[in-house]
Amino acid sequence: MQDDRYLTIPNSGEGIYREKGSKFIGFAFPVKSDAEIKTALESIRKMHPTARPHCYAYRINPLQERWRANDDGEPSSSAGKPILNQLKSMELQNALVVVVRYFGGTLLGVPGLIHAYREAAKLALEDAGRLEAQLMQPVKVACAYAESGELMKWLKGKGYLGKPEGHDLLFCINIEIPYSIAAQAIDELKKRNWIVESLE
């Protein structure tokens, strides 16, 4: 894959795994930020307030990966880590998996828990699908209104689509450039004396 391409999930997904009376429900979400992770976790807690625990793992930011695995009270590394390992084995980024458990009365032991959480995560991710995505660099470009036609023609020729913004003094537009060629494209824009601002 190119440097700016990665695998993710295009949709939310759900999967149910049952073991000795316990029910493990997995939920997969495409996420890119801490705020999206928080929103997804809160939505699951509202949907399943009586389920205990709510274990999860995520991987975000493919360039400088951040991840977390949370056991939420289960024995150490018996829930969050198997979920995280499922994300890794499927090479997925920008994805969150939450698995909630309804206890069926029979203890599964650590090996049983590892298997159950892994399988619930796998089913949810398979339901969500898989997609090759491209890392994009958001950029704001500005120029004098007299040059806006030239700027738009240049952007269109490069395939950079964006939304123009109103401004009192300058014509501004927000665009996204593939990460692997962003530095080169920004240099080209600056050589034309257009104002460029990275929006990360």
Tens digits of per-residue pLDDT, 56-102? 999 998 888 999 999 999 999 999 999 999 999 999 999 999 999 99
Residue 92: which residues within 8 A CB-CB, separation 6 or more? 7, 8, 9, 59, 125, 130
Query: What is the CATH architecture assignment of 5-133?
Result: 2-Layer Sandwich (3.30)
How far apart are the C-alpha atoms of 183 and 185, rounded to whole Å?
6
The answer for 159, left when phi > 0, alpha when psi is -120 to 50, beta otherwise, is left
At residue 18, what is the residue type? Answer: R
Is the distance from CB of 160 to CB of 194 less than 8 angstroms?
no
How far apart are the C-alpha atoms of 47 and 34, rounded to whole Å?
20
The model's pTM: 0.83
Tens digits of per-residue pLDDT, 21-38? 999 999 999 999 999 999
Model confidence at 2: pLDDT above 60: no
* Chain region(s) in the chain for CATH 3.30.230.30: 5-133
Tens digits of per-residue pLDDT, 118-146? 999 999 999 999 999 999 999 999 999 99
Supply the mean pLDDT for the chain: 94
Cβ-in-10-Å burial (0-12, 13-18, 19+) of 130 comes to middle
Model confidence at 110: pLDDT above 80: yes
Closest to 194 in 3D by CA, of 178, 175, 170, 166: 170
* Chain region(s) in the chain for CATH 3.30.70.120: 136-198
At residue 166, what is the residue type? Answer: G
CATH of domain 136-198: 3.30.70.120
For the chain, the helix, strand and coil percentages under 3-state DSSP, each to the nearest 5: 35, 35, 30
